[in-house]
Amino acid sequence: MVKKISVLALAGLLALPGAALAAGSGDLEAKIAELTRQLEELKAQVTTMDEKSEEWDLASRIKISGDVRSRLDGVKADSPSYFSALNVASGVADVLDAGQVGFPIMLGDFAATPATLLSVLMAGLPATPALFVTAATTDTNADGSTATTTQATDIAAIFYNQAVQAMLTQMIVDSGNTVTVGDLAASFADTQSLVALMKNLPAADRKSIFANLTGG
C-alpha cells in the first residue's frame, strides 16, 4: 500500500504543468517539500493501520474484563429403601401360595386339621421360625408330602410376628376359644381376604412380615 501511495505522489509531481516549472525553482521546491511531507504523513498512517490490522480478527472484537468467575453446583441425595409394586405383588403371590398350598400340608406335620382349634395349633408351634421351617419341610407324619422351604418360611414370617400373635390371641379370646385353624386359613383364600387380615396390623409389622418373606 505504501508503494502505491509513493507511485501516486510521483505521478503528481510529473503531472505538474509546464507553467509551474517556469514559475521558478523556489516555488517548485516548496511544492516538492509539501508533497514530500504529505507522503511521509501517509506512510506513517499506513504503518499505524498495518499494526492495528493484526487485531482486526473476529475474536478481538469482543473483549471481556472485570472479575470473571465460574461456579459448579452439585446435588446429592439419599433415598430411603422401599418396596416396589413388583416386590409387593410378588410377596402377596408367595403368601397366597404358602397359605393355600403349603399351609394345609404343614398341618399334618403338626398333628392338626382345619377343625383344630387355633389355640391348640399356636400352643404346639416350635419355639423359633427356624425350627418351624425344619418341621414343616420334614415329612414327620409319613403322608408323603411336605411344604417347600419357601412356603414354610413365608408362613413362619406371619406366625412368628409378635403383632400377628397378639392379633390371633385376641381372635381366640373374642371368639371364646372357638376360632379354628380353618377360620385362619380362610384369610389366605384370595388377595382381598389376605389384605383384610394385614390391615389389622400396624404398618411397621406389615413391613417386618414382608421383609422376612423369602423374596422380601
Burial zone of 124 (CB within 10 Å; 0-12 exposed, 13-18 middle, 19+ buried): exposed
Give the lowest-confidence range in 49-58, 63-72, 113-122, 181-190: 49-58
Of the candidates 110, 200, 120, which has an alpha carbon nearest to the alpha carbon of residue 158? 200
Of the candidates 54, 49, 55, 57, which has an alpha carbon nearest to the alpha carbon of residue 2? 49
Q: What pLDDT does 177 receive? A: 93
What's the average model confidence in pLDDT over 165-184? 92
Return the higher-pLDDT residue of 32 and 131.
Answer: 131
pLDDT band at residue 3, thresholds of 50, 70 and 90? very low
